[in-house]
Structure 1
Amino acid sequence: MSTGTSNDYWAKRNLPSTFKHELLRVYLPVFMARLSSVSEVAYIDGFAGAGRYEDGSPGSAEMSIKFASDLAKSRGRKFHLHYREKDADSFEKLTSVLAENTHPNLVIDARRGDISIDLGGILENHRSHPLLAFLDPCGFGVPYELLVKTMNRDAYNKPTELLLNFSHEAFRRSAGAKEGQAAAAATHKRITDAVGGDWWKSLFKEHKEGDDFGEVIAREFAKRLVSDTKASVCIIPVKRSPTTKTIYSLVHVTRSGAAAFRMYDAVSRAHEKWWMTFESMEEPEDNYALFEAPRQFDMNEHIKNTKPQLKENIIHLLHEGKPFEVSAVAPSILGSNLGSIPDKAIRQALVELEKEGIITIEYRKKKVEYWQIQQTMHS
């Protein structure tokens, strides 16, 4: 999280940040380890902030450079790491944090500036490298046309992924600026640039009082990204409480079914971490909550309760008569549980179905997302 955040933001992680950083802690090592085994890898943190919280907790920038440094030291992997931050004080702190994790296999490009200006050059320099861009602004972020350009660089040849902070609050607050107000034209242009057109204006006029305009525009934004990039898009809502509107969505964009599967798993683990943190607080801050789950959340109990539905979903897929790879149909297996249960739940459901003689599993790789599933001949 970058420019625009209050000084208190960097004092310590709040609950939404706990969720976001746990998601990064789980997902980033998977992306970096898998793709760096075959190529040098590029990573962008476009709104890097100070890199570390005042209580010593790592921010996104410190997390990413440590993951890359560990892989460079232990496996000889090579990374190109790009960090941008507009705020002078935050940038000074950021450079100090990054300097603690240098290695010959890490090419570190940290600058005070606007990632929207530098993104084109970074993409050009990494046409032959897999790339993940984490864009976590306060308010509106990188223009839509640059997001599409990033995903469509040499389309389908090099793995490319985006993880975006899509601020519902920024859109709810700014879309209502009345025409004729001094700042309205500039504000509306920022929205138009952020979503790739003025289509949002008709949605704003049509939405009913009481509807969450932020969620309406996020859904349409995701649909347009899918259409313009031919990628899959996962929207991960973050709320202050189960009954309040979404603060922002984390939007993951990828063309890889295996990557999408790993993100679903990361979301579920971040969910669990969030509740563990919430339950450890004597006085939960602002009564934050991200998901509608019981106060004493037990992941093992949750898996036990949802496993029958997973097995039913798998059997339904088999009725279509074709074998499938788990990663290709994960959303259909997970159903309404997508993002709330980890990969081990699918693994357990599949193993149980095999023991029951209903399916046959071809274990091509250890990771469950690569398992090939088919119906047994006599079932």
Structure 2
Amino acid sequence: MSVGTDKDYWASQALPSVLKHKLLGHYIPQFGGMTGSRDGRVVYLDGYAGEGRYESGEPGSAEIAMRVASSHLMKNNLRWSCFFVERKPESVARLEKVADTYRAQGVDARVHHGDVDGVLDSVLQTANGLPLFLFLDPCGLGLPFGRLVEAMERRRSPNRWPPTEFLLNFSMVAVRRLGGNARSTKGVERSSERFDEVCGGTWWREYFRPDKPIAADADEAVAAEYARRLASKTGMYVRSVPVAKAPGHKPVYHLVFGTRRQHGLWVFGDALARARNVWWEKLEVKEETEDPDALFSTTSIIRPDPQKVVDAAIPAMAANLERILRRQGRAFTLVDHTLEVFGDYYGQVTEPVARKAVKHLHAEGKTPSTGVGKRTRELVVEPPALG
């Protein structure tokens, strides 16, 4: 981005960043809590950290992580080793000032000026035997596919320890721009080759062949295939979430999440639902601020009623539970079947709705499990008694 664009970006948090940062802020404290208790340490990498804080005072991704690290250190004596990488010298200087505040609180905050690929090996070495979370949020093209897969492969083990997860920004703006570049006779081949590196091959070009019409959803097809290939190569559960500026707009990027643990899937879905609720609320506030004389906002009309979504989700998820019982013929724990439990409502409703679904199934006489006690994700659903 240009310097002018940088200034605009860091003036205040844009709507796509609201969802991204709320999701990050909901998820990483639980990642640390779930994985860090064994060794008392967690390693975190923000590969495109920016300035750390907006001029408005709102925290950027780097400060969100440092706040979590400070809280975990004070409350649980859990130490985070945080790596923050940024290429722009002026952003590094501002980031250092933010980091100094948290270093004074005991947080291990390491700011690096340069490219994330040059720091990645050092991060992996520091994280040897420890949980690791990678947040990769470039303004444009990110880490080459092969490099990301290589990093995940180095972290793979038969018992899935230590846990490794990532959340990355896959730019849909870049997909559309480079798709046009690939189709044009005046296209710059080096630009397409750079995207080949990000995607792990030339396969994406097939969606933008100059001898065929472009499908309306070509960009979404590329995002879906990228996530599928990432899941296949890493052996991880991968979820891809479109993020737009407003309802009905094309996504500006997909947030791609990877984990090897059902618990990770469960917590991510809950965090995503909570972040989406905040996104809708921020959108409505933005509209009211821009047009204070309007009788009602567009958002208030088009936003799905949260209670109606929950009311529809409960019986649908109860039916999902019943299907799992019929197939298995034995009791199961909710978190062991995260995606099937939530079904179409994954990332749409929060964790407590799963408990309500168990209670709904119990009220229908289809399970003796009452949905009472234990953490929701640890609830056990038993089949109905014979006879």
Letter in 2 for 1:310: M
Q: Which residue of 2 aligns with 1:204?
A: 208
- 1:1-379 equivalences in 2 (<5 Å): 6-39=6-39, 40-102=41-103, 106-155=107-156, 156-178=160-182, 184-205=188-209, 208-282=213-287, 294-295=301-302, 297-320=304-327, 321-361=329-369, 366-378=374-386
Distance 1:62 1:363 in 2: 38
The AA in structure 1 aligned to 2:250 is K
Q: CA RMSD in A?
A: 2.7
- Structure 2 spans left out of the alignment, 5+ residues: 291-298
Q: 8 Å contact 1:275–1:297 — kept in the other structure?
A: no
Q: 1:366 to 1:101 in 2, by over 3 A?
A: farther
SS in 1 for 2:381: strand
The structure-2 alpha-carbon separation of the partners of 1:96 and 1:340, relative to structure 1 and needing over 3 Å to count, comes to: same
Report the 3-state secondary structure (helix = DSSP H, G, I; strand = E; otherwise coil) of the residue aligned with 2:48.
coil
The residue type equivalent to 1:281 in the other structure is K
- Contact 1:13 1:57 (8 Å CA) reproduced: yes
Q: Structure 2 counterpart of 1:77, which letter?
A: L
CA distance in 1, matches of 2:370, 2:287: 48
Q: What is the DSSP-based 3-state SS (H/G/I as helix, E as strand, rest coil) of the residue aligned with 1:26?
A: helix
Q: Which consecutive residues of structure 1, in runs of 5 or more, have no partner in the other structure?
A: 286-291
Q: SS state of the match for residue 319, structure 1?
A: helix
Contact 1:278 1:284 in 2 (8 A): no
Q: Quick one: which amino acid aligns to residue 258 of structure 1?
A: H
CA deviations on 1:166-210 (whole Å, 9 max, x unpaired) are: 001111102322589787121011101101111112232287435
Cα shift readout 1:109-144 (whole Å, capped 9, x = no counterpart): 211110012112211221211100000001110111
CA distance in structure 1 between the aligned counterparts of 2:335 and 2:212, rounded to whole angstroms:
36
| Per-residue deviation, 1:104 | 7.3
How far, CA to CA, are the matches of 1:136 and 1:211 in structure 2? 26
Where 1:236 maps in the other structure, the secondary structure is: strand
Indicate conservation of the 8 Å contact 2:10/2:55, yes or no.
yes
Matches of 2:196 and 2:69, distance apart in 1: 36
Partners of 2:11 and 2:316 lie apart in 1 by 42
- In the superposition, the TM-score normalised over structure 1's length comes to 0.91
Give the paired residue count. Answer: 374
Residues of 2 paired with 1:217 and 1:4: CA distance? 31
Is 1:3–1:137's contact at 8 Å kept on the other side of the alignment? Answer: no
Identical-residue share of aligned pairs (%): 32
Query: CA 1:331–1:208 in structure 2 vs 1: closer, same or farther (change >3 Å)?
Result: farther
Deviations 1:230-252 (A, max 9, x none): 11001111123433322110000
| Shift in CA distance, 157/86, structure 1 to aligned 2, threshold 3 Å | same
1:289-333: per-residue Cα shift (whole Å, max 9, x none)? xxx995355423321232111111211221102432212222122
Mean Cα displacement is larger for which, 328-337 or 204-213?
A: 204-213
**2:83–2:110 contact (8 Å) kept in structure 1:** yes
The one-letter code sitting in structure 1 at the alignment partner of 2:316 is Q
Amino acid at match of 1:199: W
For 1:329 and 1:217, locate their aligned partners in 2 and report how far apart those are by CA, in whole Å: 27
Q: Distance in 2 between matches of 1:20 and 1:216?
A: 22
